[in-house]
Structure 1
């Protein structure tokens, strides 16, 4: 059986030297990681996910984050969990296979990192479509095509 490709490295968004959130992506989903203060319980959190917007905060207070996604998500298929002091959100992409250049509007990753992400997602697509092949050591020469649209696009499951 072919080995799984390594998951993408987490991208960090920092503000004034402090990490606000980290995220990574696969063909179908975005994973978002946010540190919360010790002692905060899931019942104290208010998390609102719409197709284009995310609001996170403590109930009864202004939101900690109130940002627009750079692409649309399927809010009905997205969910969150709290693991000790880390809030984990799994967001389902509305456009399966689309490589995101940023999680939120205005928080773009650099172009070289985006190119590496696109290549990794293209290899992930190849691996899903051809499970008998091992793509773990595969690389691209030059720019990789968009995994969502390449050769007629992705088949929907």
Structure 2
């Protein structure tokens, strides 16, 4: 085998582009070549070619599976690190918000000045009466948030600390990338006792043999293949839903839920500079590929393949590429 596995990539890619049936047709062409132009099937002992084919395919299948698992693991590690950063920032914010107040002891002179100011304020309040109260009310009304007057915001709930909502039977939180649902169960169960059905725009969650706890249309589309669920400690069901549109906040989990005010969401953005070089590069690549897909443009891997094919075409102007399909 060649020491450089990518040595013939450009040539094979050019061939693949001319097979409208995809990999199946490409394999048929290669096997047909071996049958017609070589003694691959007849030159060895009986069954030898089958062993060669089996070993070759299984070897490369194993490599492909290992690479896929490596990419998946790297993505999971990157997501985990991002969550850890978000949790750390949230803890720091909470620590700042609940920092205990300090008590400063006043000197005799400062206490006397404070008392004099209090007496002065009381005199003014006695003299002016309701006029000052009305003015204070006007100021308070002026400072009121405009959104309270917006009819679209009336009746909407304030988001919980996770930018989602705490409901009677479950709690959900969200980031721009995903939605996390936690359903506490009233009894110890096994995964096979649960019924969790995740569709692109519909979610069903419940215990087998009982009415569904959740059965409704989701607020937006999710990626089925990237969405998962797990039973924790036999009593808590955790469901992760990967959003398709990573630019919008959800106003509710399912359309039958009360709506939250997305205006009041105040997320803690992750800082890429906090990540190590390898993880940062992986996250930036994922973000770039996501933007390219949303705009209908080729991802980094697709661009690389197109560049290889373009270079090959320039090196072989005598070949006819008029029937090639560039995907």
TM-score tier, shorter chain, comes to 0.5 to 0.7
Match of 1:150 in 2: none
Give, in angstroms, the shift of residue 37 of structure 1.
Answer: 2.0
TM-score by length of 2: 0.34
Once superposed, what is the RMSD of the aligned Cα atoms?
2.4
The partner residue of 2:255 within 105, 109, 114 is 105
Asked whether the 8 Å contact 1:44–1:59 carries over to 2, the reply is yes
Q: Distance in 2 between matches of 1:66 and 1:32?
A: 14
Three-state SS of the structure 2 residue aligned to 1:31 is strand
- Ranges in structure 1 where 5+ consecutive residues have no aligned partner: 134-153
Residue pairs, 1:5-154, within 5 angstroms: 5=86, 6=89, 9-10=161-162, 11-14=164-167, 19-84=168-233, 85-111=235-261, 114-117=262-265, 119-120=266-267, 123-124=269-270, 127=271, 131-132=272-273
Give, in angstroms, the shift of residue 96 of structure 1.
Answer: 1.5
Q: Which deviates further from its counterpart, 60-69 or 86-95?
A: 60-69
CA deviation profile, 1:102-143 (whole Å, cap 9, x unmatched): 1111424432xx2232x427x34xx3xxx227xxxxxxxxxx
Match of 2:280 in 1: none
Give, in angstroms, the shift of residue 100 of structure 1.
Answer: 1.0
Instruction: Spell out structure 1 runs of 4+ moving beyond 4 A.
Output: none
Three-state SS of the structure 1 residue aligned to 2:170 is strand
Q: Distance in 1 between matches of 2:232 and 2:190?
A: 10
- Normalized per residue, which structure has more strand? 1
- Change beyond 3 A, Cα 1:56–1:21: same
Q: Which has the higher contact order (CA 8 A, sep 6+)?
A: 1
- Normalized per residue, which structure has more helix? 2
Q: Distance in 2 between matches of 1:106 and 1:9?
A: 21
- Ranges in structure 2 where 5+ consecutive residues have no aligned partner: 1-83, 91-159, 275-286, 291-327
Asked whether the 8 Å contact 1:13–1:107 carries over to 2, the reply is no
Q: Distance in 1 between matches of 2:208 and 2:214?
A: 13
Q: Distance in 1 between matches of 2:256 and 2:195?
A: 23
Match of 2:85 in 1: 4
Give, in angstroms, the shift of residue 82 of structure 1.
Answer: 0.5
Q: Distance in 2 between matches of 1:65 and 1:110?
A: 18
Task: Give the aligned length.
Answer: 122
